[in-house]
Amino acid sequence: MTPNNGNKLNVPAPRKRPGEAPEFHNLDIPDAGAVARPDVMMDPKEMFGYANSLIRVLKMNNKAVGEWDPGLCADDMRKGLYHMMTTRIYDDRMQNMQRVGKMSFYMKCRGEEAVSVAQAMALDDKDMLFPSYRQQGLLISRGRDLLDMMNHCLSNSKDNCKGRQLPIMYSWREGNFFSISGNLGTQFCQAVGWAVASAYKGEDALAATWIGEGTTATSDFHHGMTFAAVYNAPVILNVVNNQWAISSFQGIAGGEKSTFAARGVGYGMPGLRVDGNDFLAVYAVTKWAAERARNGGGPTMIEHFTYRADAHSTSDDPSKYRPEDEAESWPLGDPIERLKQHLIEIGEWSEEKHAAAIKEITALVTRKYKEAESYGTLNSGERPEVSSMFEDIFKEQPEHLRRQRQKLGV
Ligand SMILES: Cc1ncc(C[n+]2csc(CCOP(=O)(O)OP(=O)(O)O)c2C)c(N)n1
């Protein structure tokens, strides 16, 4: 064997493991309001600083400050709060239903609600969404009926995906919401392709897509980034850095070497880094990126700096790989609590109204769930005809499927 001349393999490891106290004091978090808002057409070469900072609007004293404050009216902020609360209450209900065997699988987004809700509100309904499995808030904000979402998760007789998709892998054509794929990263390329087509046709609709930071390690991320930059595609490329990719911490995807937002700058597009738990900041950066795209400025990459407060999915147990109270120690708090406290601070909300909203949303979710259950669950109700699995996919059935169907005799 050749002697080692000093090469040293680097295997990144998280700061703290189960049984240890969480530690976040290494994070460099600028004050809210500290980052300037650049002109929407600024040359990406001059924007490197944005990828290495953190755009924040809501101070920890609950006031909104700085150039990025989007100046939203109280009604819109209350709407955002309501959608985030609905997302969380919906998630809790659905996870419970998985636990009692009514559905096969579920994934919550607790702690990340601001990302999907603020972004859906900042975009136009005509904009096409290419999400991952952790942006159910997009559907809720765009007004999808909770009943339809539940029917899908229960794989029942009214599931618009006919039981062919894993629960939470929603598809909603009418809402410009592209079918979610379990193959990580595919949506980056699909969104860029869609955006290129939109520009080619001279339309002003843009595409927005979401992946987790772990997914930046896939080749699809890099293919999507290259095509987006080269063709100046009107697309918002979101990387939700929630610190964990199942049991792999963000350093395994390269987060210790540089920020994820800095990847955007490397490809020649703006890379904005935002406090993902700050509803107002997420809304403001999304508006900035959308305005840039609609003005011919092309793609923007946004890193949402946040924390996945619950397990990866119902098949995961985070107590095996991270300190139990890490979520509660996250220095950027909880997105719902922060927007709630801001609204209270400006005299537009109260603890009583908040409690009443929880009651109202819980009643709505319960009512919708009871109806959804009446159409069947994983272990009750009608099953689709076996023959239906051969339908809807190909316009003309390929030979091998025709043979399989014949063999089944259906
Ligand atoms: C191409 C591919 N590789 C691996 C997996 C298995 N897998 C599913 S989710 C996941 C972690 C993804 O983490 P991240 O991108 O950070 O998103 P998060 O779940 O944190 O939102 C992995 C490895 C997959 N579904 N697809």
Place of tokens 């609007």: 57
- Spell out the alpha helix ranges (H) of 123-268: 136-141, 146-153, 186-200, 219-230, 261-266
Residues 358-393 have pLDDT tens digits of 999 999 999 999 999 999 999 999 877 888 888 888
Among 91, 187, 215, 321, which residue has the most ligand 1 atoms within 8 Å of its CB, making it the best to mutate?
A: 215
Does the pLDDT value for residue 208 go beyond 90? yes
Q: Which atom of ligand 1 is nearest to the CA of 242?
A: 20
The 8 Å CB, 24+ separation contacts for 389-392 are 389/164, 392/162
- The ligand 1 atom nearest the CA atom of 218: 1
342-352 per-position pLDDT tens digit? 999 999 999 99
DSSP code of residue 91: H
Hey, whose CA ends up nearest to atom 7 of ligand 1?
184
pLDDT at 52: 97
**Residue 303 pLDDT grade (very low, low, confident, very high; cuts 50, 70, 90):** very high
* Cβ < 6 A, ligand 1 pocket: 132, 134, 182-184, 211-215, 218, 240, 242, 244-246, 308, 312
Q: What DSSP designation does 295 have?
A: T
User: Binning pLDDT at 50, 70 and 90, where does residue 4 land?
Assistant: low
pLDDT tens sequence across 169-198: 999 999 999 999 999 999 999 999 999 999
Helix (H) or strand (E) holding 274: strand 271-275
DSSP letter assigned to residue 242: -
Distance 51 CA to ligand 1 centre (A): 24
Q: Using DSSP, how many helices (H) and how many strands (E) does the chain show?
A: 13, 7
Does the pLDDT of residue 150 top 70, yes or no? Answer: yes
Which CATH number is 44-312+325-379's, of 3.40.50.970, 3.40.190.80, 1.10.630.10, 3.90.1150.10? 3.40.50.970
| Amino acid symbol at 43 | D
Share of the chain above pLDDT 70, in %: 99
* DSSP designation for 179: P
Q: Is the model more confident about 26 or about 278?
A: 278
Amino acid at 275: D
Asked whether the predicted pLDDT for residue 5 surpasses 80, the reply is: no
